[in-house]
C-alpha cells in the first residue's frame, strides 16, 4: 500500500505528478529534460510494505559480494553497458559508502513506485529478456534491491529515465531502522543521460572485509562470468578494476555430465555442471545455481575446499529460473538427487584434474633434477610420504621460487618436514614460501581430509619409538655402558619422556604435586633412604659433581569424568638385582599409600611398578602366578603391584609396535639407533656414545623426544 505525505497540519503536501507549466529544455538530440516549477515542489510517495521487518532484514545476513553482484545484475537487467562499483573510503581507509553507477535505461517515477511498493514485485516477472530483447534477464523476484542491506543501513537510488522524449528523475530511499518504509520522490533529473546511481551508507565500524580482500574482484567476476563472456561489450568495474573472466579463466570451461534419476529425464537441455578453473585463488567457492545460460541465481552448500585447484562449479538448469531466496533455502529438499549428482560429478573431476596437475609438477621437478625421490617402487611409509610430498608441492607450486638454489632448497625443506616433522610443514609454507593464509588453510583441509599427514606423523612416532627401544637395549646390554649410565640425569630423563612404555594412556600425563607429601611420608619407612622422589633429584650430587646413584620414584596421574588413575614407578639402578627384600618393600609401600587417610576410599586405581635390570629367581613364584599376567605380584580392587625387567618392558613395547613396523618396512639398525640417541638424547647418554668433538656425521633428520610422545 502507499500513502501521500502530509504536513504536520494534516494537509496533503504532494499530490500526483503534474507537469503543466513545466519548463522544457533540449539537452541532447531527441532528449528533453522536464524542469518542474520550483514552487510546486516534487511529489513524494511513502510506501509501507505489507511484509514484516524480519523478512526484509534477513537480507542483512547475505554475503557482501553477493549483495554487490545483485546490484550489478539490476544494472545489467536495465540494459547498462557500463557499471561501476566504487568503494569510497575515509581518511582512515575505512569504507564509508558503496556506490554503484550504471548507464542503463533508469527508472521512471511510475516504475519506481510500482517496483518498490511491495515485496517481491518487479517488472521483470513476466519477461525473459531486457527491454528491446537485447539480453537475458537475471532477476524476476523483486528481491535484489534488498541485498543492499548487507552492505549498509541507508540506501538511496537516484535514477534518470526517458519519459516519452523527455527525461524524468526519481529518488528512492530506504533505511534499516524502518525497513518496511520506502520513499519515492520525483526529482529533477540528476544527469543528462539515463542511468541509475545506488548509494549505500556504511555504518561506522561495520566491516566489509570480503569487499576489501585481494580476491574480491575475482569472486565478483566468477558470479558474472557467463554473462560477461556472452556480452563482451558490457563493462563492469569494481574498485577501479575491470572484471574480465578471460583474464582469470584457465583453459576452457568443462561441462560435467550428471548421473540423474528419471525425475529429470524430460529436462531440455538436461542439467549440467560447468566446471570453470581460475588462475587466482577464490575465497568464495560455493556452487552457483544458474539457469541454463549460466546466469547465477544463487549459491548452494559450503565452500569447496581444494588445495590444488581454484574453481567454481555452475549447476545449470532451466528448472532453476525464477528461484526466490526462499526457494534456494528449500533447494536441498526439492532437488536433493540433482544436487548430490552435481557434487559427485565435481568430486570426480577434481580427483582427475588434481592428478593431472600434480603429474605435470612432478615431471617438471624431475626435468630440473630436484625431485627428491628416485623412480624405484616404494611401499609403506615412504610411499605415503612421497604421495603427500606430491600433494604439497603441487599446492605450493605457485609459491615456489622460479629457479636456482632457492627453488631446490624449498623443495628439500618440504621433503625434510614430511620425513621427520610434519608439524613443521605449515611453518615452512608460511615463512619460507610465503604461502597465503587462504592457500595454507585449503591445503590443510586437503591433507586433513586424506589423513596423509596423520599417517606420516604416526609413522614418525613409531619409527622413533622403535629407535628408542633398541637404543635402550644397546645401553643395558653393554656392561661398560650400563655401569656408566647415571640414573638421575640420564636414565630418568629418557624414561620420563617415554612413559608410553607403561601404557599409551600415560605418555601425555604430568606429575601431580599433591602426591608428594603422601609419597614422601612413607618413603623412608618402606623403601629406604636410597630412594628419592623425582622432583628432588637435583639435591642428589656425587663428590665429583655429577648426579648421584639412587633409586628413583616417578609418579603420574590421569583423570577423566568417571575415574582417577595414578602410576608410581620405582626405577632401580641397573646394578641392583631385585629380590624378596625389594618386592616386600614395594608391596608394603603400596599398601601404606592406599591406606593413607588422604586416599583411603576415594575410588582411585593405583599401579605400582618396580622396574629393574634383573631380578632374583627367588621371587619368580610371586610374579609368575597362575591366572595372572606375568609380573603382577599383588592385585587388589584399588591397586596393583608389578615387577618388570627392562627386557620385559621393551619386549612388550616392541610387540605393540610390531604391526606398524611391518607396515613401515623399517629396521632399527645399530647405526640408526646410535644416531637417534646422539640427536634426540645427547645430554642423557653415556660418554662412550657421544661422538668425538669436532666429528661431523651425515645424519638423517629425526624427531625430538616430544614428537616421539
pLDDT in tens, 192-216: 999 999 999 999 989 998 999 888 9
Burial class (CB in 10 A: 0-12, 13-18, 19+), 60: middle
Predicted local distance difference test score (pLDDT) of residue 30:
41
User: CB count, 10 Å around CB of 478?
Assistant: 15
Predicted local distance difference test score (pLDDT) of residue 87:
96
Angle, CA of 599, 605 and 608, to the nearest 5°: 95
Confidence of residue 477 (pLDDT cuts 50, 70, 90): confident
Residue 657 has pLDDT above 60, yes or no: yes
Residue 698 has pLDDT above 60, yes or no: no
Q: Under a CB-based contact definition with an 8 Å cutoff, are residues 497 and 706 in contact?
A: yes
Which residues make beta-bridge pairs with 186? Answer: 170
Question: CA–CA separation, 380 vs 664, rounded Å?
Answer: 5
330-362 tens-digit pLDDT: 787 888 899 999 999 999 999 899 889 999 999
Reduced to 3 states (helix: H, G, I; strand: E, B; else coil), residue 330 is coil
Distance of CA 3 to the CA centre of its chain: 52
Question: CA–CA separation, 663 vs 466, rounded Å?
Answer: 13
Q: Which three cell numbers stand for residue 537?
A: 633429584
The torsion defined by the Cα of 293, 288, 129 and 230, in degrees rounded to 10, comes to -50
Give 421 or 620, the one with higher predicted confidence. Answer: 620
Question: CA–CA separation, 680 vs 700, rounded Å?
Answer: 12
Predicted local distance difference test score (pLDDT) of residue 412:
83
Predicted local distance difference test score (pLDDT) of residue 433:
67
Residue 42 has pLDDT above 80, yes or no: no
Predicted local distance difference test score (pLDDT) of residue 46:
82
405-441 tens-digit pLDDT: 888 888 888 887 777 666 666 666 666 666 667 666 6
H helices present in 431-575, as ranges? 437-450, 452-477, 479-484, 492-496, 516-521, 523-526
Q: Which three cell numbers stand for residue 583?
A: 618386592
Predicted local distance difference test score (pLDDT) of residue 38:
36
Lowest mean pLDDT across 40-49, 89-98, 125-134, 443-452 = 125-134
Q: Which three cell numbers stand for residue 380?
A: 609403506
Confidence of residue 673 (pLDDT cuts 50, 70, 90): low
Residue 684 has pLDDT above 90, yes or no: no
Averaged pLDDT, 556-579: 84
Strongest mean pLDDT among 98-107, 496-505, 667-676: 98-107
Confidence of residue 474 (pLDDT cuts 50, 70, 90): confident
Residue 254 has pLDDT above 90, yes or no: yes
Reduced to 3 states (helix: H, G, I; strand: E, B; else coil), residue 117 is coil
Confidence of residue 47 (pLDDT cuts 50, 70, 90): confident
Question: CA–CA separation, 417 vs 452, rounded Å?
Answer: 13
User: Could you tell me the CA-to-CA distances from 333 to 31, 286, 318, 344, 687 in Å, in that order?
Assistant: 52, 18, 18, 17, 72
Confidence of residue 1 (pLDDT cuts 50, 70, 90): very low
Residue 105 has pLDDT above 90, yes or no: yes
Residue 645 has pLDDT above 90, yes or no: yes
Lowest mean pLDDT across 72-81, 155-164, 377-386, 613-622 = 377-386
Give 285 or 351, the one with higher predicted confidence. Answer: 351
Question: CA–CA separation, 97 vs 208, rounded Å?
Answer: 11
Predicted local distance difference test score (pLDDT) of residue 458:
62
The dihedral through the CA atoms of 594, 599, 603, 608 has a sign that is negative
User: CB count, 10 Å around CB of 473?
Assistant: 17
438-464 tens-digit pLDDT: 666 666 665 655 544 555 556 667 778
Phi, psi of 188 (to 5 degrees): -65, 145
Which residues make beta-bridge pairs with 336? Answer: none
Predicted local distance difference test score (pLDDT) of residue 464:
81
The torsion defined by the Cα of 408, 411, 414 and 417, in degrees rounded to 10, comes to -40
Q: Which three cell numbers stand for residue 282?
A: 577464490
Q: Under a CB-based contact definition with an 8 Å cutoff, are residues 400 and 407 in contact?
A: yes
Helix 216-230 to helix 64-77 angle (10° resolution) is 30
Averaged pLDDT, 535-548: 56
Strongest mean pLDDT among 41-50, 194-203, 221-230, 518-527: 194-203
Full DSSP string of 224-284: HHHHHHH-TT-EEEETTEE--HHHHB-S--EEEP----GGGTT-SSPPEEEEEEESS--S-
Average pLDDT score over the chain: 78
Tell me the percentage of the chain whose pLDDT exceeds 70.
72
Question: CA–CA separation, 413 vs 213, rounded Å?
Answer: 30
Contacts of 268 (CB under 8 A, 6+ apart): 318
Amino acid at each position: 500500500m502507499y500513502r501521500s505525505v502530509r504536513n504536520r497540519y494534516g494537509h496533503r503536501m504532494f499530490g500526483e505528478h503534474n507537469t503543466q507549466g513545466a519548463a522544457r529544455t533540449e539537452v541532447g538530440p531527441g532528449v528533453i529534460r522536464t524542469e518542474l516549477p520550483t514552487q510546486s515542489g516534487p511529489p513524494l510517495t511513502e510506501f509501507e510494505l505489507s511484509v514484516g521487518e524480519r523478512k526484509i532484514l534477513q537480507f542483512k545476513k547475505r554475503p557482501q559480494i553477493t549483495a554487490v553482484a545483485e546490484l550489478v545484475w539490476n544494472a545489467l537487467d536495465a540494459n547498462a553497458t557500463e557499471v561501476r562499483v566504487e568503494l569510497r573510503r575515509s581518511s582512515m581507509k575505512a569504507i564509508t559508502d558503496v556506490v554503484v553507477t550504471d548507464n542503463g535505461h533508469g527508472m521512471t517515477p511510475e516504475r519506481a513506485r510500482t517496483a518498490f511498493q511491495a515485496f517481491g514485485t518487479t517488472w521483470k516477472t513476466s519477461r525473459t529478456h531486457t527491454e528491446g530483447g537485447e539480453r537475458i534477464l537475471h532477476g524476476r523476484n523483486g528481491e535484489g534491491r534488498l541485498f543492499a542491506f548487507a552492505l549498509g543501513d541507508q540506501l538511496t537510488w537516484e535514477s534518470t529515465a526517458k519519459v516519452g522524449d523527455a527525461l524524468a528523475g526519481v529518488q528512492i530511499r530506504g533505511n534499516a531502522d524502518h525497513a518496511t518504509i520506502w520513499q519515492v520522490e520525483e526529482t529533477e533529473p540528476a544527469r543528462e543521460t539515463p542511468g541509475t546511481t545506488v548509494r549505500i551508507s556504511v555504518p561506522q565500524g561495520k566491516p566489509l572485509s570480503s569487499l576489501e580482500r585481494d580476491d574480491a574482484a575475482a569472486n565478483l567476476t566468477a558470479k558474472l562470468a557467463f554473462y560477461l563472456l556472452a556480452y563482451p561489450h558490457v563493462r563492469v568495474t569494481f574498485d577501479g578494476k575491470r572484471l574480465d573472466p578471460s583474464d582469470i579463466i584457465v583453459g576452457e570451461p568443462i561441462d560435467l555430465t550428471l548421473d540423474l534419476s528419471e525425475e529429470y529425464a524430460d529436462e531440455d537441455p538436461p542439467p549440467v555442471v560447468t566446471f570453470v578453473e581460475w588462475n587466482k585463488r577464490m575465497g568464495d567457492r560455493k556452487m552457483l545455481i544458474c539457469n541454463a545460460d549460466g546466469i547465477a541465481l544463487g549459491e548452494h552448500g559450503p565452500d569447496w575446499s581444494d588445495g590444488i585447484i581454484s574453481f567454481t562449479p555452475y549447476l545449470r538448469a532451466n528448472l532453476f529460473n525464477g528461484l526466490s531466496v526462499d526457494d534456494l533455502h528449500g533447494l536441498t529438499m526439492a532437488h536433493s538427487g540433482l544436487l548430490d549428482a552435481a557434487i559427485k560429478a565435481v568430486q570426480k573431476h577434481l580427483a582427475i584434474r588434481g592428478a593431472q596437475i600434480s603429474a605435470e609438477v612432478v615431471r617438471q621437478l624431475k626435468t630440473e633434477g630436484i625431485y627428491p625421490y628416485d623412480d624405484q617402487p616404494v611401499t609403506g611409509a615412504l610411499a605415503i610420504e612421497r604421495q603427500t610430498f606430491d600433494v604439497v608441492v603441487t599446492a605450493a607450486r605457485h609459491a615456489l621460487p622460479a629457479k636456482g638454489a632457492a627453488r631446490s632448497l624449498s623443495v628439500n625443506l618440504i621433503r625434510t618436514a614430511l620425513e621427520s616433522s610434519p608439524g613443521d610443514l605449515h611453518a615452512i609454507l608460511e615463512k619460507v614460501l610465503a604461502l597465503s593464509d587462504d592457500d595454507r588453510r585449503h591445503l590443510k583441509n586437503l591433507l586433513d581430509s586424506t589423513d596423509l599427514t596423520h599417517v606420516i606423523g604416526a609413522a614418525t612416532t613409531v619409527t622413533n619409538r622403535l629407535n628408542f627401544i633398541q637404543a635402550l637395549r644397546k645401553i643395558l646390554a653393554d656392561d661398560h655402558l650400563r655401569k656408566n649410565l647415571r640414573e638421575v640425569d640420564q636414565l630418568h630423563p629418557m624414561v620420563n619422556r617415554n612413559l608410553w612404555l607403561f601404557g599409551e594412556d600415560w605418555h601425555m600425563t604430568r606429575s601431580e604435586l599433591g602426591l608428594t607429601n603422601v609419597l614422601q611420608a612413607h618413603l623412608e619407612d618402606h623403601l629406604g633412604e636410597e630412594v628419592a622422589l623425582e622432583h628432588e633429584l637435583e639435591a642428589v650430587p656425587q663428590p665429583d659433581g655429577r648426579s648421584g646413584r639412587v633409586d628413583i620414584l616417578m609418579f603420574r596421574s590421569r583423570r577423566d569424568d568417571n575415574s582417577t588413575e595414578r602410576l608410581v614407578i620405582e626405577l632401580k639402578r641397573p646394578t641392583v638385582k631385585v629380590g624378596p627384600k625389594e618386592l616386600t618393600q614395594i608391596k608394603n609401600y603400596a599398601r601404606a599409600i592406599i591406606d593413607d587417610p588422604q586416599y583411603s576410599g576415594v575410588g582411585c586405581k593405583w599401579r605400582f611398578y618396580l622396574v629393574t635390570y634383573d631380578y632374583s629367581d627367588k621371587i619368580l613364584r610371586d610374579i609368575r602366578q597362575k591366572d595372572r599376567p606375568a609380573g603382577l605380584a599383588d592385585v587388589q580392587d584399588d591397586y596393583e603391584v608389578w615387577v618388570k625387567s627392562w627386557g620385559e618392558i621393551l619386549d612388550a613395547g616392541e610387540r605393540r609396535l610390531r604391526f606398524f613396523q611391518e607396515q613401515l618396512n623399517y629396521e632399527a639398525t645399530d647405526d640408526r639407533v646410535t644416531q637417534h640417541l646422539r640427536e634426540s638424547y645427547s645430554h642423557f647418554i653415556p660418554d662412550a656414545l657421544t661422538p668425538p668433538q669436532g666429528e661431523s656425521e651425515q645424519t638423517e633428520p629425526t624427531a625430538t623426544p616430544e614428537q616421539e610422545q
